Every structure is written in C-alpha cells, then in structure tokens.
Amino acid sequence: MKINIKTTIPGPKSIELTKKREVNVAKGHGSVCGVFIDKAVGCNLIDVDGNTFIDYAGGIGTMNVGHSHPKVISAIKKQLNQFIHPCFTVAPYKPYVDLAQRLAESVPIKDNCKSVFFNSGAEAVENAIKVSKIYTGRTDILVFSHAYHGRTQMTMSMTYKEDPYKKGFGPFLDNIHRMNFPTETFDLSELKVDPKKIACLVIEPVAGEGGFIPVGKAAMGQIRDFCDTYDIVMVADEVQTGFGRTGSLFSMEQFGIEPDLFTLAKSIAGGLPLSGVVGRSKIVDSAHIGGIGGTFGGNPVSCAAALAVLDIMKDERLPERAVQIGKKLTTKINAVKKDVPWIGAVKGLGAMQGISIIDKKDNPDKEHTLRIHKQALKNGLVMITAGTYGNIIRTLMPLVINDEELEESLEILCNALKTP
C-alpha cells in the first residue's frame, strides 16, 4: 500500500485525541508519534485522519510478520471460539505445550530443551535469572554497557541507559556487574567480581535500545568459553533480535554459538503479549513447582498466534527476506552517507540496522536525529530512535514489506537523512 498523506501531521482528529489522552492517560507513558492509529495491515499504518504511513517501528519490533497477518488472525479467531483463558496453572491446554515443543526444537541448542511462557520481555529475563540462580546456587549477574533488558526493578537495574529508564527510580540492585559491550573482544581485565559468584551472563546479540550494536563474533565465542570455564549460565536475550529480524530465526545462529537459555518476546506472537524462556532442560527444570509461571503466562490465544508466526516464518522465508531488506537498506544509506556529513556508522544485522547521527566533532547529535525523525513522519514514514545517546535511527519494519513499499520508504528515509 502506498503512502498517502491527506492532512498536516498530526491531523485534526489525532490532535483531539491527544487532548483527551492528556486528561486521562499517565504522563509517564510517552508516545513517539502524535498520530492515532485506526487500522494497520502489512507494513502500513492508517491513522484516524485517513493518512497512510509505512511503518519502520513495527510496534518496537513486535510485528515481524506484519500487521494483521491473515494466518495470525485466523489462528486467533479459531482459539477464541474454543476458549480464552482457563490459566495454564489451573487447567493446562494444548497450544501451550505445542508451542513449547516447537520452540524447544527450533532454538540452536543441541541438548534437550524446554520452554516456559510469560507476558513480556522483562518477565522472560527475570525468570531466566531466577532459574539460573537456582541452578548455580549463585546470586550475581553479569551484563554489559548499552544493554536494555526491561523496566522491572531487576531488569531496570540491568539496563544501562539512565534517562528515561532509570531516572529517579533507584536505588538499584547491587548484585549486578557490568562490562563494556563486546563489539570486538570480551576483555576479562574489566571484570571486577569473582566469576565464581556469577549465576548468569546476559547478552543481546545486537544491542537494541543501546543503538543496534552487534556483538563481535570472536567476542561471542570468548563469552561462551568464559561461561564454560566458570559454570556460568549464558543467556541470549533475543527479545528484539529473534524471529527472523536479523536474517535467521534466532540471531545466535549467525554466531555459531549455543547459549544455555534464550529469552524471547516481541514478534513471537504477531503483536499479542507473550514471552518465553527456552533452553537446556536441566536449567529450566531447576525451579521448583510454583516457582515460575504467572496468571496470564502462555495465554492460549497468544500461543495460537505464536504457532502461526512460526509457520509464517518458514513458509514466507522471512529470515531470508530480512537479509534482502538489510542489504538494500545499507546500500541506499551508504550512498547517501557520501554526501551527508552527519551520517555516522551504519551497523546491525539483517533488517535490524541502526543509522547514527553525529555533529561536526563526531559526537552523538540527538537534536538533529529528532529533526530527521520529524521530517520522515511528515512525509509518511513512522520511525523510532534508539541509542544510549538518542542519536540512532533504527529500522524495525515488518519483514513482509514488498519491494515497492521498501523502495518508496527508503526514498523518504534517504531524503529525511539529508535534513540539516
């Protein structure tokens, strides 16, 4: 579907809804764009004023199979007609078990694996830590600069960026230790804690909110060796990188490294709330009965949607499509970069690419990034920024975007990047 902008952005109906929102919705829950959405299909968002946009935010990485995919909608409707929520803790059901099996068989770990489901990425990370602590009998956690793992007390403590995620919410947990993000090597000289105290190491294969920074391949191997040496549980946080985004179903496949646990969420269920911990059975099973779970964890409707997502990933070859998107995007941006001095590094994996905006001294330029964002939105491209310093334009478009839509949106992005 082509972009079609009929009003100023935001339009009059969005402005009216903004006024209503200001009266009724907590101020702390912000929104990047001031347009209210009425309908979404594929890679398109249609707002209440009838403006049609192409979506490069994808619900912050939740819409890899696209908005309102027919197979996801069909799976949801079928499950709704059977039952909505008996609660797996009370009365279990087949979609949960089927999904647990599919994911256990899909993650790149050779050992027997099991799965357990929750609602959000932060919940998945929390529970990966819980089972790691029980399995190892240890208490400490190792994370990295530029990391984002969530907004609960535990995951907020693990997250690197202060403003807005941690500002004013301290004190934070003191059993969390941090090293520099390993873009090339994993430097043990930075470690300031006895590794025998560490229960788990949590790493994003590509730092998401931190700026779309990939871990170095050599560094990932060194991390695996370090965890093996000290019997530390290696947790791959694939909340944002998972489900085809980087060019493989799971990003860790590209490193040739087996973590012990995966944390999954975002695009797992085509836009419905669902997350999971999947990994080695001996670790996942270490928690006692009742120690993990939750009322809505593994909701049957979300599980049915997730099973459809896995089918779509395979049938439509979306991981391969992510590679194509990434190549076309980086080629276009690097061509523009030659004549635009404020475009810095362009990096990422697959269709998860980050474009850094810098000033004349090569420092991060957040204000300029926001001007580019505003110009793109004005012309029909919904985007979000990222980075510890707020100077990264990130691409999280649905992987179902067709070539015509991709070309149209890249032209808008390239023109917006030229904004002084």
Helices (H), 187-299: 217-229, 281-284
pLDDT digits (tens, 9 = 90+) for 213-233: 999 999 999 999 999 999 999
In whole angstroms, give the CA distance from residue 395 to residue 389.
17
Confidence at residue 81, expressed as pLDDT on a 0 to 100 scale: 98
Residue 176: which H helix or E strand, with range? strand 176-179
Confidence at residue 84, expressed as pLDDT on a 0 to 100 scale: 98
Confidence at residue 208, expressed as pLDDT on a 0 to 100 scale: 95
Q: Where in the chain is the domain with CATH 3.40.640.10?
A: 71-315
**Would strands 176-179 and 140-144 be described as parallel, antiparallel, or unpaired?**
parallel
As given in the structure block, the two tokens for residue 288 are 């006692």
- Across the chain, mean pLDDT equals 97
Count other Cβ atoms within 10 Å, centred on residue 390.
Answer: 17
Confidence at residue 34, expressed as pLDDT on a 0 to 100 scale: 93
**pTM for the full predicted model:** 0.96
Place of tokens 């996942």: 284
In whole angstroms, give the CA distance from residue 294 to residue 296.
6
Mean pLDDT of 310-321: 98
CA of 176: how far to CAs of 11, 27, 226, 276, 307, in Å?
Answer: 46, 30, 17, 22, 35
Amino acid 13 reads K
Rg (CA), the chain: 21
Cβ density class 176-211: b for 16+ within 10 Å, e for less: bbbbebbeeebeeeeeeeebebbbbbbbbbbbbbbb
Which residues fall within 8 angstroms of residue 12, CB to CB, at 6 or more apart?
49
In whole angstroms, give the CA distance from residue 126 to residue 200.
11
pLDDT digits (tens, 9 = 90+) for 354-392: 999 999 999 999 999 999 999 999 999 999 999 999 999
pLDDT-derived band of residue 87, with 50, 70 and 90 as boundaries?
Answer: very high
pLDDT digits (tens, 9 = 90+) for 407-417: 999 999 999 99
Mean pLDDT of 326-350: 97
pLDDT digits (tens, 9 = 90+) for 19-38: 999 999 999 999 999 999 99
pLDDT digits (tens, 9 = 90+) for 96-115: 999 999 999 999 999 999 99
CB–CB of 300/84 below 8 Å? Answer: yes
| CATH architecture for the domain at 71-315 | 3-Layer(aba) Sandwich (3.40)
Closest among 309, 336, 277, 332 to 400, alpha carbons compared: 309
Burial class (CB in 10 A: 0-12, 13-18, 19+), 17: middle
CB–CB of 299/89 below 8 Å? Answer: no
In whole angstroms, give the CA distance from residue 38 to residue 16.
14
As given in the structure block, the two tokens for residue 307 are 């099973």
CA of 4: how far to CAs of 176, 377, 380, in Å?
Answer: 48, 12, 7
Closest among 230, 235, 155 to 200, alpha carbons compared: 235
Local structure of 37: helix, strand or coil: strand
